[in-house]
Structure 1
């Protein structure tokens, strides 16, 4: 048997990028997986596509109910849906600050809140939030994005404390800069995309962007019963970006 056999999972933002890779990893380990997304039709084969807007509580509750109706249970929630922002604190109006927080932080609140009654009935309940290396490392022109991801990391710890004795483990993964369609779109807007890609590669100590499947592997570990003593943990998948200071290559 695979480690997630019999378990049912939700992955928000599961239609592409990191979310799609997480769906694939959970499926490969035996879980039944629903991809919640504004457009879930692009999700991997084998997932249950469910349209959901994480900024709308009614939409979230309907989506969770649809998953439970289909699978009969809910054991794992992966809060991956998020949006980015580039700039300093002067760059964005209040409306954009509210928008990014609404997706990146309150989206986690809405989805997990709707899932909690079902997770409490699971023998192997787990929530995995996707934060970022930006939560722990000061990066230029990432003020708004970093603020939301710092909030995700703090929220993860609070949720872990609140729900561990209910049998629900909560952890988060902090990816480094990851090779996803979203990052590629940012590169495409640069004056010199090749130079910008080289700079992003060099910024991470292992010399390349993180792969989405590497993040998915970390999520799958935290989601599975094999990590039953892991709670309130932040797992960095960033090539050492947050913690290592290597000498320049010679």
Structure 2
């Protein structure tokens, strides 16, 4: 009978040794936890965020180096791509949640949501795909992971018009990139979390008319009866960036506590 210890069954496939991984929005929440998890798995992690103060939380963590990056600034993206070595993995984690129905969605909020949730990923991929392809050609596989959401083409949620529409676009973008490069060993998948207990979520709860009820409502929609923690997501992040997922591409991977059952 097989020994089901992960280190035996998977060998080194679940490690990120000798891989360079770039993560956006790595100053807090899922991005920060993913940076730590990827570094612990052996990667050289380039942790980026628009807020340099938040990145200090990662200072001194073995395997992590930080860069300030505004992912809505195409010149800054291109400059970073020119300055870094070719990547083995890219995790596009930056995004924003707009609250409101289409009647509360003005042009400025819509344009900001599209720019941060979709256009930034287009620009990041455009800048870093050439290097990813070079690494895929020499090392056998490279990976892009895009942050989508269960609130997308997977499921509609009240007051999430801009968010749901842009995250559905992320899934379409992911599948298109996957199709373009499937024969060149560059994979692209989308991560679709449920409701995750992050500083951003706590900010939305605190800003609600009744924060206590708002938190209860967020929890109630999770069939498992709790919010996800960032550490519920990081094993999947590491897996999708590792060679352990080398036969997965173009997939929407739901880690949602059963919301979309």
TM-score by length of 2: 0.88
SS in 2 for 1:50: strand
Q: Which runs of 5 or more residues in structure 1 are unaligned?
A: 244-250
| Deviations 1:204-233 (CA, angstroms, capped at 9, x unpaired) | 110111111211211111110011101111
- Out of 41, 44, 48, the position equivalent to 1:29 is 41
Aligned to 2:174: 156
CA distance in 2: counterparts of 1:191 and 1:105, whole angstroms? 30
Aligned to 1:248: none
1:113 aligns with 2:112: no
Q: Is the CA contact (8 Å cut-off) linking 1:51 and 1:63 kept in structure 2? A: no
CA distance in 1: counterparts of 2:162 and 2:252, whole angstroms? 20
For this pair of structures, how many residues does the alignment match?
Answer: 239
CA distance in 2: counterparts of 1:40 and 1:14, whole angstroms? 10
1:211 aligns with 2:224: no
Aligned to 1:228: 246
1:133 aligns with 2:145: no
TM-score by length of 1: 0.92
Aligned to 1:83: 96
1:67 aligns with 2:81: no
Specify whether residues 236 and 216 from structure 1 end up closer, same or farther in structure 2 by C-alpha distance, changes over 3 A only. same
Aligned to 1:10: 22
Aligned to 2:9: none
Shift of 1:41: 4.1
Q: Is the CA contact (8 Å cut-off) linking 1:34 and 1:67 kept in structure 2? A: no
Q: CA RMSD in A?
A: 1.3
CA distance in 2: counterparts of 1:67 and 1:14, whole angstroms? 17
